[in-house]
A = this chain, B = another copy of it.
Amino acid sequence: MKPVSPSDEPVPGDDVPFPRPHHDHDHCRHDALRRAEDVCARQGARLTQARREVLDLLWADHRPVSAYDLLHRLNADGRKAAPPVVYRALDFLIEHGLAHRLNSLNAFIGCAHIGGEHGAQFFICRECGQVAETRSPEIDSAIRTAGAELGFRVQAPVVEVEGVCPTCSGAPA
């Protein structure tokens, strides 16, 4: 079994958060847009044209994009949008849990999970630039425990891990 697993690590078949090279990415994109519509509908928020376009650009692939890259892509068709357009759209998307900011890269990425705001951990491949987003209760709990030992009330843990993804580690396929 284990048909196209990109690694020999003990990973569950299709739940691997690192995107496989030839996965159906159109599915990722369309799914993300659909989820965004759901979220906005439920929260009475408006997924306007600019916001939708930025979200779609974020889902061009599984790599984070800088705000100015987004701006250039937005303006590729001759438009003349200014930076606030992008930053406002990003603020909206982040507030509604549809995108995340990666502090270590000054870049943004579409949220791979469902639901509102939430903690997450990001694994960033130094080779290919792709990012996997996880929600590990174990990491979260280790952080909260360490915080408690300091008497620190944890509000927003940020975890961004640099390394090399399974594909770039030279896994079979």
Interface residues, chain A, with chain B CB atoms under 8 Å away:
6-11, 16-18, 103-104, 121, 123, 125-126, 132, 134, 136, 138-139, 141-143, 145-166, 169, 171
Give A103 Cβ to nearest chain B Cβ, in Å: 4
Nearest B residue (CB) for A140? B142
Chain A interface SS verdict (over half): mixed
Q: Which of A151, A165, A169, A171: most chain B Cβ within 10 A?
A: A151
Q: Say yes or no: A161-B154 contact (C-beta < 8 A), given A9-B148, A9-B149, A143-B139.
A: yes
User: Do the beta carbons of A138 and B147 come within 8 Å of each other?
Assistant: no
Would you mind naming 8 contact pairs between A and B with Cβ atoms under 8 Å apart?
A18-B152, A123-B147, A153-B163, A155-B164, A156-B162, A157-B159, A158-B161, A158-B162
Q: Count identical subunits in the complex.
A: 2
Q: Are A153 and B164 in contact (CB under 8 A)?
A: yes
Known contacts A103-B160, A160-B158: A166-B150 contact under CB 8 Å = yes
